[in-house]
Chain A
């Protein structure tokens, strides 16, 4: 099941309305646009504090054409679970409840909430649009900020800890659907949303969202950066769907390290990594290879 461009064009909702408050080149609006195009007419979005709580508009205007509720920071997956329960009780099972959050709301403060909803197999789609820091409050480090990245709370030497591998953690909750996606590959993301929407239970998508403001690159390069992450092997697109784990088509070629673009092209294009030395990049490369070993192993385990 794939999604084509003409299908997206004909969708009943636009997703994002022009004239919204997002920064130039915002990755979240690309992601939200796809969510709206694929599921907008059936979905309610539950959104905790984060960039999207600003992006959605100001003063009586919503900049998405979707049903949307703001909720406290740590509560998104739980509010979504409650909404889904209400819809189930009311016999409105065609409705889809999406908990859309950032990495802070998903991997940090809302992590227990997310884990709780996952283990209960609550009937929601949780999407973490990961821009790898608390961008909305001014670029503070989160648990998904990569090692060495400079943020306003890791301003000189950069972050001293690793990036949390949220999608794999969610996979270990034994839920029916987990995938990674990227704003650089909207059709892949759209297809994953569509497949997820056909499953009942807890579904999780970890969406990679390069942020020009926080990562320090030009606003025109959001998509380029997202693609580079995949092409260098730094971000791996995969999908687990009810027992079957697959590396997604855009990432497939890059299982072979020789096919990858030089990691340096991705790292050094970001201001937050401008202080890195060659040995740091080599260290990151080794960590990336570790991730690939995990993903290849998962593919082998779930190959039925």
Chain B
């Protein structure tokens, strides 16, 4: 609404400064969080499908995924977080066994 503040409006300078600092930090300092651009899975036109039978669990999709949406541990078949996967297809492109297929996203 309407705000006015001058030297003569100052009542409790330390308290008012703390309020300002809190606002400053909230607006200026952003903590790490998933989904800074929202659920980016909605950008997807094609979606990656992992064929477990072909997967050699090499982790290349994990290594190269630009979004960090591939979960993987050595010796395991990877999985993909579809909430955020943008469907770029890098994982399919780097898979040495063509175990990831890009299929049309159905809504």
Contact residues of A with B, CB < 8 Å?
A: 5-6, 8-9, 14-22, 24-27, 29-30, 33, 56-66, 186-187, 218-224
Q: A9-B72, A20-B36, A57-B37 are in contact. Are A219 and B89 (CB under 8 A)?
A: yes
Instruction: List the 10 closest pairs (A to B, CB-CB), nearest first.
Output: A220-B89, A57-B36, A19-B35, A18-B84, A61-B36, A21-B37, A24-B88, A65-B32, A63-B36, A25-B88
Evaluate contact between B93 and A17: CB separation under 8 angstroms: no
- CB nearest neighbor in A for B40: A19
Can you list 25 residue pairs at the A/B interface with Cβ under 8 Å?
A: A5-B74, A9-B59, A9-B62, A17-B68, A18-B67, A18-B81, A18-B84, A18-B85, A20-B37, A20-B40, A21-B36, A21-B37, A25-B89, A30-B66, A33-B68, A57-B30, A58-B37, A59-B30, A61-B32, A62-B31, A62-B36, A63-B33, A219-B89, A220-B90, A221-B93
Evaluate contact between B34 and A19: CB separation under 8 angstroms: yes
Q: How far is the CB of B84 from chain A (nearest CB, A)?
A: 4
CA distance A272 to B64 in the complex (A): 24
- CB nearest neighbor in A for B45: A24
Query: Is the C-beta of B20 less than 8 angstroms from some C-beta in chain A?
Result: no
- Residues of chain B lying within 8 A (CB to CB) of residue A64: 32
Q: How many residues of B contact A (CB 8 A)?
A: 38
Evaluate contact between B88 and A18: CB separation under 8 angstroms: no
Evaluate contact between A223 and B40: CB separation under 8 angstroms: no
Q: A62-B30, A219-B88, A223-B64 are in contact. Are A5 and B36 (CB under 8 A)?
A: no
CA distance A220 to B88 in the complex (A): 5
CA distance A8 to B86 in the complex (A): 23
CA distance A62 to B34 in the complex (A): 8
Q: A18-B69, A27-B66, A62-B31 are in contact. Are A224 and B36 (CB under 8 A)?
A: no
Query: Is the C-beta of B83 less than 8 angstroms from some C-beta in chain A?
Result: yes
- CB nearest neighbor in A for B41: A19
At the interface, is chain B mostly helix, strand, loop or mixed?
loop
Which residue, of A26, A66, A218, A220, has the highest number of chain B Cβ atoms within 10 A?
A220
- CB nearest neighbor in B for A16: B68
Q: How far is the CB of B23 from chain A (nearest CB, A)?
A: 12
Evaluate contact between A14 and B72: CB separation under 8 angstroms: no
Q: How far is the CB of A188 from chain B (nearest CB, A)?
A: 12
Evaluate contact between A220 and B37: CB separation under 8 angstroms: no
- Residues of chain A lying within 8 A (CB to CB) of residue B21: none
> Which one of A14, A18, A56 contacts B40 once the chains associate, using CB atoms below 8 Å?
A18
Q: A19-B34, A61-B36 are in contact. Are A220 and B69 (CB under 8 A)?
A: no
CA distance A56 to B93 in the complex (A): 25
- CB nearest neighbor in B for A28: B66
- Residues of chain B lying within 8 A (CB to CB) of residue A60: 26-27, 30-31, 33
- Residues of chain A lying within 8 A (CB to CB) of residue B64: 30, 186, 223
Query: Is the C-beta of B73 less than 8 angstroms from some C-beta in chain A?
Result: yes
CA distance A163 to B3 in the complex (A): 53
Evaluate contact between A26 and B32: CB separation under 8 angstroms: no
Q: A5-B59, A9-B62, A9-B74 are in contact. Are A20 and B67 (CB under 8 A)?
A: yes
- Residues of chain A lying within 8 A (CB to CB) of residue B66: 16, 22, 24-27, 29-30, 33, 222
> Which one of A17, A22, A186, A224 contacts B32 once the chains associate, using CB atoms below 8 Å?
A17
